[in-house]
Amino acid sequence: MARQPEGPPPPPTVQKLRLRYAKRGPLRFASHRDLARALERALRRAQVPMAFSAGFSPHPKISYVGAAPTGAASEAEYVEIGLAQARDPEAVRAALDAALPPGIDVLECVEAAEGGGSLADRIDAAAWRVELPGVALAELQHAVETFLASDVVMVAKRTKNGLRDIDARAAVVSASGAEEAGCAILGVVVRQVTPAVRPDDVLAALAAVADLRPPSPPRAVREAQGRLDDTGNVADPLGPDRAARTPRQGEHAVV
């Protein structure tokens, strides 16, 4: 007979909250594991009543969705947490934001709507903005046009199993070049595929088709995640939850 943990089982999850947070400035170089540890510590400091898994090694019920790669900033990171006691989402957002280090900013918190499916089901694409210092706008636009005109653009991507050739073109929904304050800006919408196509893969593809090689390190920011709509834009994954929000009976106003 299998051993059972001593003591009563943990309280059930009575509320699920979905949060959007940003990682900015030097924190873009923090790994996903570092960010996860920081979030768990902040949840304890903010006294958020987390629900825990059962078993001999209980863990707080936290689910991450599509974390940005190390080195990239983001305005659209998402996480879902399970609570053992109902709380006001805005109170949780404010308390958690105050408990996190500068550069990790909690922008929004909504209650997951009943029967609304998983958060991951609402995300199949991401919109990126990539600043390219030292690149002329005309050079970027030529590279983007050449890339979009190609049916296949293979690049070498480093995965946990070593280098692998992937088709960067197949994942790109749209790409464009612009200029702000004298800096060329690459805007790109990328489908969620396996292995993931990141901004550095798209830049490798631009180098392959048009020899575009920025003289300075690019600065990538993920501006949005969500499902592609009929126009090729990325829809807000928290929209359905936000629309369905109703106060809970007995919900506390503060954490």
Peptide bond into 195 cis (omega under 30): yes
Domain boundaries, the chain: 15-121+237-244, 124-226
Tens place of pLDDT per residue across the chain (255 aa): 455 556 667 788 999 999 999 999 999 999 999 999 999 999 999 999 999 988 778 889 999 988 899 999 999 999 999 999 999 999 999 999 999 999 999 999 999 998 888 999 999 999 999 999 999 999 999 999 999 999 999 999 988 778 899 999 999 999 999 999 999 999 999 999 988 999 999 999 999 999 999 999 999 999 999 999 888 899 999 999 987 765 554 444 444
CATH number of 15-121+237-244: 3.30.70.580
Tell me whether domains 15-121+237-244 and 124-226 share a fold: yes
CATH 3.30.70 fits 124-226, yes or no: yes
SS3 content of the chain, % helix, strand, coil (to 5): 25, 35, 40
The sign one gets for the Cα dihedral 219, 22, 198, 170 is: negative
Is 164 strand, coil or helix?
A: strand
In contact, 23 and 68? CB cutoff 8 Å: yes
Is 199 strand, coil or helix?
A: helix
3-state secondary structure 31-52: CHHHHHHHHHHHHHHCCCCECE
Compute the distance between CA of residue 171 and CA of residue 194 in angstroms, rounded to an integer. Answer: 10
